Amino acid sequence: MKDPTTIIILIATVLSFATTNISVSARIDSDNFTSNRNGGGNIGNGGTNNSGGDNAGGNGNGNPNDKNGGRRVGQLGYATQGGCISPPPCISIQVDVFTDKWAYETSWTLTNTVTGDEVWTVENGRYGDQYTQYTDTKSFEPSEYTFEIRDAWGDGICCSAGEGNYEVMYDGEVVASGGEFGRSTRTTFGGRCGPPPIQVQVDVLTDKWPGETSWTLTNTVTGDEVWTVERGRYSDQYTQYTDTKSFEPGEYTFEIRDAWGDGICCSEGEGQYEVMYDGEVVASGGEFERSTRMTFRGSCNA
């Protein structure tokens, strides 16, 4: 018979294990993430329960527009998973399968290697037609994933009974492909720090009074000013300036200011500005008074 101390320790162990499990699944569940990715609430919730987080104990349910709440979401949700410090936007994973003669034999699983969760499963039977192209797409948080494709007969999907093949795209890039395998084959891809950074480029063509211009780029989730150009950066009249910097994908606000209050166009020359996010023009102009701002983010199809 066990003594009471042992029992208490056992109970405590079980409880702490349960707590750990709850926090992990709350943080990572992909459906939760997808439906709540703009709210930040679920992510923060998971973070609050995360016993490993340095800053645990804060109110993880913070309004994403609230500066402090937003920061905690990022720190707790990702700092413990490899140093990422902001809530990521979603990325898409696409799985293309071209079936061979025995379409029914194919199944596959996508596993988040950070959590160990199977986040997407396709069973035998999903592919019903021979020699047919199938495409499935779903949104996930940036992370590291393993794709495992299986064949029930053990002869892959190429080439003894037709030229079947599969292809997996992570955030628009082919990360796994093939067709010749036996019972199964797997590939790991993605990264634990989210997708590659995107570039923000700010072009300014100055007017007669370049010294009046300054601007800031703010991460709207954290509230942090992530890039600031003070007055004086632009010193030459009627001159084109270009600045480029890398950031994690997210939502940003660009605010350009004019110290005189007459913008950079058109009373003193035809100045203009243009902001490119990941290669796309997201803000431009020249006619404003004291300041003007624009908020933008990358596309994210659920």
What tokens were used for 261? 């209050």
Single out the residue of 34, 55, 61, 153 in contact with Ca ion (rule: CB under 5 A).
Answer: 153
Single out the residue of 66, 96, 155, 203 in contact with Ca ion (rule: CB under 5 A).
Answer: 155
Q: Report the residue number, 34 or 184, with the smaller CB distance to Ca ion.
A: 184
Quote the least distance from Cβ 289 to Ca ion, whole Å.
Answer: 9
Q: Which range touches Ca ion (CB under 5 A), out of 22-30, 89-97, 148-156, 187-195?
A: 148-156
Quote the least distance from Cβ 174 to Ca ion, whole Å.
Answer: 22
Instruction: Tell whether residue 262 is a contact of Ca ion (CB under 5 A).
Output: yes
CA distances from 239 to 4, 203, 276, 285 (A): 80, 10, 18, 16
Q: Which range touches Ca ion (CB under 5 A), out of 33-41, 112-120, 154-162, 292-300?
A: 154-162
Instruction: Tell whether residue 127 is a contact of Ca ion (CB under 5 A).
Output: no
Site string for Ca ion, 199-238 (x = CB under 5 A): ----------x--x--------------------------
Instruction: Tell whether residue 165 is a contact of Ca ion (CB under 5 A).
Output: no
Quote the least distance from Cβ 204 to Ca ion, whole Å.
Answer: 12
Quote the least distance from Cβ 221 to Ca ion, whole Å.
Answer: 31
Quote the least distance from Cβ 6 to Ca ion, whole Å.
Answer: 52
Site string for Ca ion, 87-106 (x = CB under 5 A): ---------------x--x-
Query: Which residues have C-beta within 8 Å of that of residue 280, sequence separation ≥ 6?
Result: none
Complete edge-to-edge strand list for the sheet that includes strand 184-190: 118-122, 106-112, 144-151, 184-190
> Are 116 and 175 contacting, i.e. CB atoms less than 8 angstroms apart?
no
> Are 32 and 42 contacting, i.e. CB atoms less than 8 angstroms apart?
yes
Please give the distance of CA 234 from its chain centroid, rounded to a whole number.
34
* Radius of gyration for the alpha carbons in the chain, expressed in angstroms and rounded: 25
Q: Report the residue number, 144 or 212, with the smaller CB distance to Ca ion.
A: 212
Instruction: Tell whether residue 145 is a contact of Ca ion (CB under 5 A).
Output: no
> Are 212 and 191 contacting, i.e. CB atoms less than 8 angstroms apart?
no
Instruction: Tell whether residue 144 is a contact of Ca ion (CB under 5 A).
Output: no
Distance CA 96, CA 108 (A): 11
For 77, the enclosing helix (H) or strand (E) is helix 67-78
* DSSP E strand boundaries for the chain: 91-98, 106-112, 118-122, 133-140, 144-151, 165-170, 173-178, 184-190, 198-205, 213-219, 225-229, 240-247, 251-258, 272-277, 280-285, 291-297
Single out the residue of 29, 144, 151, 171 in contact with Ca ion (rule: CB under 5 A).
Answer: 151
Quote the least distance from Cβ 123 to Ca ion, whole Å.
Answer: 15
Q: Report the residue number, 209 or 234, with the smaller CB distance to Ca ion.
A: 209
Instruction: Tell whether residue 274 is a contact of Ca ion (CB under 5 A).
Output: no
Please give the distance of CA 293 from its chain centroid, rounded to a whole number.
24
Instruction: Tell whether residue 296 is a contact of Ca ion (CB under 5 A).
Output: no
CA distances from 20 to 57, 130, 296 (A): 15, 45, 36
Q: Which range touches Ca ion (CB under 5 A), out of 4-12, 24-32, 180-188, 255-263?
A: 255-263
Phi and psi at 165, nearest 5°, equal -160, 165
Residues that bind Ca ion (CB under 5 A): 102, 105, 151, 153, 155, 209, 212, 258, 260, 262
